[in-house]
Amino acid sequence: MAFLQRDPLELEPLVHDISAPTNGAVATFAGIVRDHHAGRGVVGLSYSAYEPMAEAICRQIVIEAEQQFDARVGLVHRLGEVAIGEAAVLVAAVAAHRGPAFDAVRWVIDAVKSRVPIWKRERYADGSEAWVDPTAVAGVVPAGIPG
């Protein structure tokens, strides 16, 4: 299974792939592209990745989560251009009970954000663009690169 995808993401097949009749709980998370960031209007963005490492790290995150939470986990991240309102990342977890399902999803999205080599370039309403740096001081707008 590929963890990186250039086409729009769909939740239903992700959940379907990990479902079983013994499971009573399905928790999901979708990270959606917003129309603003750090006070600036965002009109579009694109994701790029160090693809072989990103695939390997995603696989590792899923394995770790499934061992840790007794859940089955699905994960897919979008690459390339993503429109406002579309999903950038989907996580799903299926478990016997809701606690492990919620915990697994939350753990996985946190791990994706901190460990997977994916980068986001935003285009702003004023025509500029910038790479987003989540480690930058909150509220400081990243240095713009003329678009």
Partner 1 sequence: MTRFSVLLFARYAELLGSERVEIDLPASATAAELIDALRRMPGGALLPSHPFLAMNHSQVRSGQQLDPDAELALLPPMAGG
For binding to its own copies (CB under 8 A), which residues are involved?
A: 11-12, 19, 21-36, 84-85, 87, 96, 98, 101-102, 105-106, 109
Residue 35 touches which of partner 1, its own copies, none (Cβ within 5-8 Å per kind): its own copies
Residue 41 in contact with residue 50, Cβ under 8 Å? no
Residue 77 touches which of partner 1, its own copies, none (Cβ within 5-8 Å per kind): partner 1
- Strands 40-49, 36-37: pairing kind: antiparallel
Residue 13 touches which of its own copies, partner 1, none (Cβ within 5-8 Å per kind): none
Structure tokens at 105: 């999803």
Nearest to 102 by CA among 127, 59, 71, 62: 71
As a whole number of angstroms, the distance between CA 54 and CA 143 comes to 26
Whole-number CA gyration radius for the chain: 16
If binding is defined by CB under 8 A, does position 36 make contact with partner 1?
Answer: no
If binding is defined by CB under 8 A, does position 2 make contact with partner 1?
Answer: no
Q: Please state, as a whole number, how many other Cβ atoms lie within 10 Å of the Cβ of residue 137.
A: 6
Q: Of 19 and 51, which CB lies nearer to its own copies in the complex structure?
A: 19
- Number of chain residues interacting with partner 1 (CB under 8 A): 30
If binding is defined by CB under 8 A, does position 92 make contact with partner 1?
Answer: no
Q: Of 50 and 63, which CB lies nearer to partner 1 in the complex structure?
A: 50
Query: Nearest 5°: phi and psi at 70?
Result: 55, 50
Residues of this chain that bind partner 1 (CB under 8 A)? 31, 47-50, 52-54, 56-57, 77, 88-89, 109, 112-121, 131-135, 145
